[in-house]
Structure 1
């Protein structure tokens, strides 16, 4: 009984994985480009391998000659010369076999290094909206698990497959030259080998893709649970998250069992084909010798060459099977190449600093809108607060106004230019999003700040830290701006990490800011203090604040109340309180 294909297919487009998987055409194109890039190293590997294989054939040829001489009744075999020739061949084979291993390792490491660099460069250049929608699980599994799987394939499978192919071709060629009739014995095993391989390779790629996607689903479930651990605990979602993780693991292991069962069918077919080759050579060779078609020496050489065929054929099938796993991982890594980069077309540049959303509709899933016909005008230099209940669409609207997402319908413009048609780097020169997340990268405090402006001088860095009231603790660091922070360095508190993020914002100096509760990780007293210190920095800039604390909205010029994906009220704080509508109810609730 076989292991049936699991009903659940995590590689299906509508399921967990959001980042695309490369098509076979994309993978083939990328592999061809890699081989062209390393054609000299690859050619050198083929040459040294060919010499090593040819040298390995000297033994069977010499032994076949000795057998023929004995059969002919020769009394002097010149064993000294034969031993000398065999010794020279063995020395050449040893030297060039070592070179094959060296050149294989060099080729594998060069290809793997290129692959890692290509993926990293392409991932960093992905549109922010793609990364936000994909989440951490799928991308993390590609960077870690898929790279690990490819590491073995690139270091061993690609070079060894090339070695095995050259080895097999040269051995079959030698067999045809030495004893052409014995080449028929190879044909006996071909139908068995082809049938087994065809059966296996028709099923294996899909199974390996599903297995890899299943692991990505497991990683996503675990990463999301860990990242949102406090929320899971607060809402007592532990049992539900554990059940989800167990279901994902069960689905993944089902595909693991499927791929293992496929291999249990392939390997016996390979073993049977090896037995058929040897059996065919001995049986047919014996008959041919009796018929006088070949000599005993030719049969001896042919049998030894046929025995030598077992290793390269097994090598090819073993590493080709590994390449099935690697091909899936490669397709997942190369898949990011199929994502359209941010538009670099020469769209109309912004003429002005006004931000406008016109009849915007947007959703994270097809045909399911989160925002429904939202229109909003933000005048240059004004302060707009987006308020409303949780899940109303405030953060989504903020991301559209910051150019992270493009609307499904309608338009979001900056100075009359469509944000979605502008390259990300151009958008960031004008508009910046500061959300509740903050990152302190491994390195010095100076390097962390210069991410926003690489040419910033130390005086400007200190001024930015001072603008967010971070200069006090920063000056107390052992090495000042040269102090190492991040993982393995000095520990910074969440509030200090948020101040570093805000200092980057000061250095970037955009004219429009979208603040998604940027001070949420500070305690209320510290948050108010930081907001007062930011007032000078924000002066003259357009500020769109997504307000979860209504005191942020109180000081805004315009307040937009977002409910169920629509703006239900628009006006100043006093006007909305007087109107006694949804905002007034929120204000009364906030003040008890």
Structure 2
């Protein structure tokens, strides 16, 4: 299994800049509002400093009262502005995060089926859950609070220097400590967080595969092996998670020293200057209050800077999922029919290990072909190539004369439908599950499709399905999938063990229904249960990735070749004889 790509820093920066450009109007408005909010918030300490100087210098009661009223008015105005500005910033954060989720969902849904088949399931699941969760707070809360913190810090330092540059010089005393500590941290954090997310993905994969393969685990007594694997992945994930935590506990105290130290320096240095007559006590008081007010925004900045390292690694994994590529230039051919051509196809999942060797097959419109063979012969691989899930390394697969690789995804999925034994029931009603195939279908059409699929267990289209309602059996799930297929009515039906969970009688009825509704549609079916072959127009026998025989069921039995031997072996394993 492979992993999805991870974006480099340049790509992440480009994607974030694109986000900023899309929202630059609202962002500019929020920045302006925050500047006004911070500026108003700086006035009370400045006014208080002047009040201190005025009292020591002989302020009258009227001036003192007026200054006190101005301070109160500024505090009230700052509270109102802070509420409005924060609300606007958080609203933008929610909007941006929703946009990121929608964009990521589009990326995941646009992944070629071949990529999904080849990708570790834990990779997709972890990026959809853990990685998105990592960027959720940084976008929804971290960005607004960082914006507020940066503006507050810059404007406060500027205000301090405007009051008295000599005293304000002490504000910068902690800057070298913060710079050195942060440089040390940022050199190590990206790799640490990237490793943390990668090990989490592998842990998710191990747990998911164990749960999905519970029947196999139980049948082959693999519980101990799977438990050991999960424990090993947990240990690796824990060790990887401890690395960024260790970095953070070294970096954060140093940064805190860097922005608490200026408060002590300003007080001490200000006292010296006042004693020397080089500064006013009100200026010292005002700058001290400003520096004290910086501690909370600087705390927020330090916290979110640490979270940003984690979010950056998550962004790289989110943006690493490629967007849907532009479809090749193609002019739809109105007469595109259901003729399937496979010409000289060789294909393998690894370059040096081909699964199919020089396979050539033509299936005419309206023909029903069943592909059989021993396990590992390449049946499912051939079906996936015809359905366009994989692309042949050599040779050609075409529908109606057009190579499958050149068909736009929308047209390909409209013309060719693949149904496997791994069907899915979505949480919702029966109708919701069926309307996925054709949203405009009427209730009567839904009922007819269910009847054709043999889904007699459905008595109400509004019945809820899912883990918290009624969970269909594997056979019922396949009937729902068949009903969707009937509603979709594609030109080419590719069925890979699509009736494996049904009884022989149910499978025969469904195959008859599909044949009756197919008309001139082509049906290509992979079957392990060989009685399916008796109802096909033609049987194709694969042996070690090559077509060994092709013909009608009875003709192949008469030929007494590989198919006849497979048929006899299958009959010997049945509880009752299937008439030939």
TM-score, normalising length: structure 1 = 0.89
Instruction: Tell me the equivalent position of 2:236.
Output: 251
Match of 2:362 among 377, 387, 390: 377
Deviation at 1:286, TM superposition (A): 4.1
Distance in 2 separating the partners of 1:380 and 1:79: 96
Mean CA deviation greater in 126-135 or 366-375:
366-375
Unpaired segments of 5 or more residues in structure 1? 1-15
Say whether 1:285 aligns with 2:285.
Answer: no
1:340 to partner: Cα distance: 4.2
- 1:341 pairs with 2:325: yes
Range moving further from structure 2, 253-262 or 357-366: 357-366
Give the distance between the partners of 2:73 and 2:343, measured in 1 at CA. 82
Deviates more, 1:530-539 or 1:191-200: 530-539
| Contact map agreement 2:346 2:395 (CA 8 A) in 1 | yes
Match in the other structure for 1:47: 32
Corresponding residue number in structure 2 for 1:406: 391
- Specify the SS of the correspondent of 1:360: strand
* Shift in Å, 1:489: 4.2
Write out per-residue CA displacement over residues 265-293 of structure 1, whole angstroms, 9 at most, x where no aligned residue: 11121122123322432344344445544
- Does the 8 Å contact 1:468/1:530 carry over to 2? yes
1:268-307 alignment runs, 5 A limit: 268-290=253-275, 292-307=277-292
Q: For residues 240 and 571 of structure 1, what CA distance do their matches in structure 2 show?
A: 45
Instruction: Please say if 1:502 is aligned against 2:464.
Output: no
Which SS does the other structure have where 1:269 is aligned?
Answer: helix
Equivalent residue of 2:144, what SS? helix
In structure 2, do the counterparts of structure 1 residues 59 and 125 end up closer, same or farther at CA, with 3 Å as the change threshold?
A: same
Equivalent in 547, 566, 571 of residue 586 of structure 1: 566
Q: How does 1:43-442 map onto structure 2 within 5 Å? A: 43-69=28-54, 72=57, 78-290=63-275, 292-336=277-321, 338-341=322-325, 343-346=327-330, 349=333, 351-365=336-350, 367-442=352-427
User: How far is 1:84 from its partner?
Assistant: 1.2
Q: Which residue does 1:521 correspond to in 2?
A: 501
Contact 2:152 2:297 in 1 (8 A): yes
Separation in structure 1 between the aligned mates of residue 77 and residue 2 of structure 2, nearest angstrom: 51
Q: Pick closer, same or farther for the CA change 1:77–1:275 going to 2, 3 Å.
A: farther
Give the conservation status (yes or no) of the 8 Å contact 1:56–1:93.
yes
CA contact (8 A) 2:2 2:120 kept: no
Aligned to 1:7: none
CA distance in 2, matches of 1:506, 1:576: 31
Cα distance in structure 2, aligned partners of 1:261 and 1:106: 34
CA shift for structure 1 position 230: 0.5
Sort the Cα spacing of 1:74 and 1:454 in 2 relative to 1 into closer, same or farther, 3 A: closer
Say which is worse superposed, 253-262 or 324-333, in terms of deviation.
Answer: 324-333
- Give the Cα–Cα distance (whole angstroms) in 2 for the partners of residues 212 and 51 of structure 1: 40
**Distance change in 2, residues 1:250/1:99 (3 Å):** same
Which secondary structure does the structure 2 equivalent of 1:294 belong to?
Answer: coil
Provide the rounded CA distance (Å) in 1 between the counterparts of 2:180 and 2:44: 33
Task: Pick which of 524-533 and 266-275 moved more.
Answer: 524-533
- Quickly say closer, same or farther: Cα 1:517–1:539, change in 2 above 3 A: farther
Tell me if structure 1 keeps the 8 A contact 2:345–2:395: yes
CA distance in 1, matches of 2:272, 2:550: 98
Q: 2:457 aligns with which of 470, 473, 491?
A: 473
1 CA distance for matches of 2:515 and 2:288? 88
8 Å Cα contact 2:260/2:295 also seen in 1: no
Cα distance in 2 for partners of 1:328, 1:382 equals 52
How many residue pairs align between the two structures? 571
- Deviations, residues 334-373 of structure 1 (Å, cap 9, x unaligned): 322x244362521674754322222323333455433333
Cα shift readout 1:52-73 (whole Å, capped 9, x = no counterpart): 3223322321232234345556
C-alpha deviation, 1:217, in angstroms? 1.4
